[in-house]
Amino acid sequence: MGPAVEQAPGLAYTRGSTVPPTRMTDHQEPREPSFPEALVPVALLMGLLALSVYLFGSDSSSGPNQIALILSAAAASAIGLRNGHRWRDIESGITHGISTAMGAILILLVVGSVIGTWILAGIVPTMIYYGLLALAPSIFYVAACLICAVAALATGSSWTTAGTIGVALIGTAAAQDLHPGLAAGAIISGAYFGDKMSPLSDTTNLAPAVSGTDVFTHIRHMVWTTAPSFGAALILFTIAGLIAPAAGSGAGELDALLRTLTAQFAVGPHLLIPLVVVLGLIIRKVPAFPALLIGALLGGLFAVLFQRPALLAYVGESDLPQALLLLKGVWMALYSGFALDSGNAVLDDLLSRGGMDSMLTVVWLIMSALMFGAVMEATGMLRVLAARVLQAVHGTGSLISATLATSAGMNVIASDQYISIVLPGRMFREEYRRRSLDPKNLSRSLEDAGTLTSVLVPWNTCGAFMAQTLGVATLTYAPFVFFNLLSPVVAAAFGFANVAIARLPPPGAAGTR
């Protein structure tokens, strides 16, 4: 044998060949997934989420759905690897996908602190107190809608509002022999209006994070479709109240709630100052994180100034100097929220919440959903699915309608409103940019359909929760959730009429959106 031929690393050479050595590629171009392949992880996700809701009910978002998302992401990764994608590229896509929501995750954590200190300071109790005073039997439906809107706007949670004040209101409706579907529809409409428009809401922070805009720009842009939808809903609830019977007062539970509120907290308009400050910062376009952090710290200060008995009772210790007890109480509210023990179960449930740790399950769910979406995107499957949908898109109106339909469809097939925001957001984000449409159009559409239609699906976590909590079947209240039904219709109409559609400035143009 002659001496071995020495090769440079990565060069291929055949003995006797006249072809010069060429560098071997480490990796061939991955194959484009087929449409059936792209559907496999989606079908698996649908099945696992349906099983999750069946087995765990309204608790499915507290862990089971996260496992379903991770397993579906694993299936999508396996298909991607089979098509020639490298794991390090898929992993890089996951890291990048989750990183897009880090701003929203930070805001969610500080939102938990805001909720905790604002309850402790009496800010949330004051807002709920004035909202409850507006209730009168003759205008039950519209008043119930407004009360829940105020409570959800203050807390950022439709579930908490419906599960506490909503329970009291549905009991009052039963005592007055009012239509249960209409009563539940009014409660849910108000709760979802407040949830949708509150900077304290997780979905209100998630939609702009996925779309590529900020939360306060998102909220301001939502006013265009939300205001007419909610206004029309209030008119319909007013008409329903005028033709519905109103027998008896049925106000005992609410009177007890008001008495307990004033016994546990000092209530007064001066406690709304932190709210005014935060709104002022929002108007001045201060970024969300510092604005909300200032609000949380102001809540702690107001708790020390105006709710000292409640604060000391919450800490429950006496072996420390009072100044340290007050500091400890505010600190606890920032990280673990507030817990009330008033003897009124409804009030205790409503006002025992908040803190950064209350957002950890939501953060877990968001990261899991983003992981699934990122794998679908990195392996090209999301692009294949989007291409099928975009075949029917010919203009701005049809693009917005496709976004609305996809978000609503995800609520049906995926059974979770977070997925109905994350996946369509990732699917359509590049198409909005290609058409020079401001990302706030996308974020608004995701909320108009993704957030609001979730409660209309019986097997969705939101629909299951509301039916179980209010004691009214989803299909019984669904025709009367006027706000949630009208918002996607108004959004589609605005898209086709080219009303309130913001466009990106040309490249290099001065100014801001």
Determine, yes or no, domain membership for 15.
Answer: no
d(CA 455, CA 282): 29
Share of the chain above pLDDT 90, in %: 41
Claim to verify: residue 287 and residue 328 sit in the same structural domain:
yes
Determine, yes or no, domain membership for 23.
Answer: no
Per-residue pLDDT, 245: 56
| Most confident of the following: 278-287, 359-368, 411-420 | 359-368
Claim to verify: residue 329 and residue 439 sit in the same structural domain:
no
Claim to verify: residue 322 and residue 404 sit in the same structural domain:
no
Claim to verify: residue 383 and residue 420 sit in the same structural domain:
yes
Claim to verify: residue 334 and residue 459 sit in the same structural domain:
no
DSSP letters spanning 205-228: HHHHHHHTS-HHHHHHHHHHHHHH
> Is residue 33 over pLDDT 70?
yes
Claim to verify: residue 251 and residue 319 sit in the same structural domain:
yes
Beta bridge partners of 12: 22
> Is residue 54 over pLDDT 60?
yes
Last residue of a domain, one of 359, 392, 412: 359
Determine, yes or no, domain membership for 13.
Answer: no
d(CA 233, CA 483): 5
Q: Mean per-residue pLDDT for 330-357?
A: 87
> Is residue 240 over pLDDT 60?
yes
Per-residue pLDDT, 20: 46
Claim to verify: residue 80 and residue 108 sit in the same structural domain:
no
Q: Mean per-residue pLDDT for 2-11?
A: 38
- What SS3 class is residue 513? coil
| Most confident of the following: 95-99, 182-186, 473-477 | 182-186
**pLDDT (tens digit per residue) in 214-227:** 999 999 999 999 99
Residue 363 or 489, more confident: 489
> Is residue 499 over pLDDT 50?
yes
Q: Mean per-residue pLDDT for 44-48?
A: 89
Q: Which of 301, 302, 297 is nearest to 281 (CA)?
A: 297
Structure tokens at 342: 């008033």
Claim to verify: residue 152 and residue 71 sit in the same structural domain:
no
Angle ∠(377,382,385) on CA atoms, nearest 5: 170
Q: Mean per-residue pLDDT for 79-102?
A: 89
Residue 97 or 210, more confident: 210
Residue 174 or 251, more confident: 174
Per-residue pLDDT, 414: 67
Count H helices and E strands in the chain, helices first.
26, 2
Q: How many domains does the chain have?
A: 2
> pLDDT tier at 9 (50, 70, 90 boundaries)?
very low
Per-residue pLDDT, 391: 83
d(CA 485, CA 505): 33
Per-residue pLDDT, 134: 63
Per-residue pLDDT, 437: 93
CB neighbours of residue 129 within 10 Å:
19
Burial of 52 (0-12, 13-18, 19+ CB in 10 A): buried
> pLDDT tier at 461 (50, 70, 90 boundaries)?
confident
Q: Which of 165, 222, 155 is nearest to 188 (CA)?
A: 165
Structure tokens at 10: 């990565």
Determine, yes or no, domain membership for 423.
Answer: yes
Per-residue pLDDT, 5: 37
Claim to verify: residue 224 and residue 194 sit in the same structural domain:
yes
Residue 494 or 251, more confident: 494
**How does the average pLDDT of the chain come out, rounded?**
84
Last residue of a domain, one of 332, 359, 386: 359
> Is residue 72 over pLDDT 50?
yes
> Is residue 193 over pLDDT 80?
yes
**pLDDT (tens digit per residue) in 358-392:** 888 878 887 888 788 889 888 988 888 878 888 87
Burial letters 224-236, b for 16+ CB under 10 A, else e: bbbeebbebbbeb
Per-residue pLDDT, 327: 94
Claim to verify: residue 81 and residue 107 sit in the same structural domain:
no
Q: Mean per-residue pLDDT for 91-115?
A: 83
Burial of 321 (0-12, 13-18, 19+ CB in 10 A): exposed
Claim to verify: residue 195 and residue 243 sit in the same structural domain:
yes
Q: Which of 451, 478, 496, 474 is nearest to 226 (CA)?
A: 451
> Is residue 17 over pLDDT 70?
no
**pLDDT (tens digit per residue) in 398-415:** 999 999 999 998 888 766
> Is residue 197 over pLDDT 70?
yes
Per-residue pLDDT, 283: 66
Determine, yes or no, domain membership for 350.
Answer: yes
Determine, yes or no, domain membership for 17.
Answer: no
Structure tokens at 455: 């409660």
Burial of 88 (0-12, 13-18, 19+ CB in 10 A): exposed
Angle ∠(229,108,41) on CA atoms, nearest 5: 80
| Most confident of the following: 11-15, 332-336, 470-474 | 332-336
d(CA 470, CA 452): 18
Residues 6+ apart with CB under 8 A from 185: 237, 477, 478, 479, 480, 481, 482
Determine, yes or no, domain membership for 373.
Answer: no
Domain span at residue 416 reads 35-89+378-497
Claim to verify: residue 65 and residue 108 sit in the same structural domain:
no
Determine, yes or no, domain membership for 335.
Answer: yes
| Most confident of the following: 244-258, 282-296, 381-395, 487-501 | 487-501
Per-residue pLDDT, 292: 85
